[in-house]
Amino acid sequence: MIKVAFYDAKEYDRTSFERYSGSEEMTFKFFDTKLNEDTVELAKESDAVCVFVNDTVNAAVIDKLYEYGVKIIALRSAGYNNVDVQAAFGKVHVVHVPAYSPYAVAEHAMALLLTSIRRIHKAYNRTREFNFSLNGLTGFDLHSKTVGVIGTGKIGRIFIDICHGFGMKVIAYDAYPAKDSGIDYVSLEELFKESDIISLHCPLTPETNHMIDESAIDKMKKGVVIVNTSRGALIDTEALLKGIKARKVGAACLDVYEEEADIFFEDRSGHILNDDLLSRLISMPNVIVTSHQAFLTQEALYNIAETTVKNIKSYFTNDGICDNELCYRCGSIDKCKKDRKERCF
Ligand code: NAI
């Protein structure tokens, strides 16, 4: 029986994972708390831990997991910037869910964009109060506008297809452009200069951290709409706020926020928010914030649970080889063992 300590468990996680729990093969122990140095002890006697985007999986936590004999860290997310994969190497294997529904995220990005530029959020509140005035609700057509897509992986490409459906001109930047994709790649500078809308779909890495900073915003068109459904720290939030206050940034649609870890995913409605930057952003009429919900569709939850369970099982069977294992050498042509169908270590 494989014992899995399941951190940061929400009601929707329990619903999608419970069908696999208690079987002869695997059992889950659900914890509401996030994984960090104070809570790692809960993983004692577990074979695996299952974590999400705001769990802290740093070197200290990894060392403890290793000491407790935990064999595998199973992320139920695609992004893994919260895991110190270098520290885990040689100690605890790391697996993730590379794709569960790229449609969910790409569609949410478009939903945010349309809500923002057609003022749906305002109209919704107004009509509930029987206020049928149209003043202040003027939007703009997406048709013929230029959208700049940063990151043309699974989600970015679906977003591009959606944008084409709206008759938009699409330009894109990717550090590793896809060959023969028909995508109109430009430099980052050009993308900033030409785009009416910029949507972020690249991972958070040391290179992409704060890629949207003051100097990037300076290069953008006046009135640019910035959509971020990727990771909060791609944007320097202070610079964004400055750009909004200066009327340079026309609107921001944010599903992620760089300091979201202690705020998002919880009901804080009865509390005073101690994050002035987020409070200020939320108070802006042209900012829409959703709390990292882009992934949250029935299809995605089903696929996340199915792949996570498969990932964990494959460690304990199948010679431990798992297509979804990752390590700090991923992508390195000479060192990556995955292409050779071997374990990372
Ligand atoms: P992917 O791995 O298929 O695509 C990422 C793309 O970014 C690749 O084409 C890669 O070449 C590119 N890239 C890497 N470094 C770059 C750089 N320095 N500059 C520009 N492009 C770069 O990943 P996928 O599935 O499309 O997901 C993208 C991101 O979306 C994830 O990294 C994750 O952070 C975020 N995400 C957010 C969710 C949410 O609920 N808000 C849910 C799932 C993913």
The answer to whether residue 154 scores a pLDDT higher than 90 is yes
Note the pLDDT tens digit of each residue in 267-319: 999 999 999 999 999 999 999 999 999 999 999 999 999 999 999 999 898 67
The predicted pLDDT at position 343 comes to 84
**Mean pLDDT across the chain:** 95
Domain range for 214: 102-289
Bridge-based pairing of strands 146-150 and 169-173 is: parallel
- DSSP code at position 261: G
| CB 152 less than 6 A from any atom of ligand 1 | yes
Atom 23 in ligand 1: which residue has the minimum CA distance? 153
Whether 271 sits among the annotated catalytic residues: the reply is: no
Domain assignment present for 113: yes
Overall number of domains in the chain: 2
Measured between alpha carbons, how far is 299 from 112 in angstroms, rounded to an integer? 20
From the list 107, 258, 260, 325, the catalytic residue is 260
The answer to whether residue 340 scores a pLDDT higher than 70 is no
The predicted pLDDT at position 25 comes to 87
136 shares a domain with 22: no
| CB 199 less than 6 A from any atom of ligand 1 | no
Distance of CA 274 to the CA centre of its chain: 23
Domain assignment present for 159: yes
Average pLDDT estimate for 206-210: 97
Atom 19 in ligand 1: which residue has the minimum CA distance? 175
- With 0-12 / 13-18 / 19 or more C-beta atoms within 10 angstroms meaning exposed / middle / buried, residue 248 is middle
Give 4 Cα–ligand 1 centroid separation in angstroms.
27
107 shares a domain with 95: no
| CB 156 less than 6 A from any atom of ligand 1 | yes
Q: Among 149-158, 163-172, 310-319, whose mean pLDDT is lowest?
A: 310-319
Say what the pTM is.
Answer: 0.90
Average pLDDT estimate for 256-262: 93
Report the percentage of the chain scoring pLDDT > 90.
87
| CB 149 less than 6 A from any atom of ligand 1 | no
308 shares a domain with 280: no
| CB 115 less than 6 A from any atom of ligand 1 | no
Whether 108 sits among the annotated catalytic residues: the reply is: no
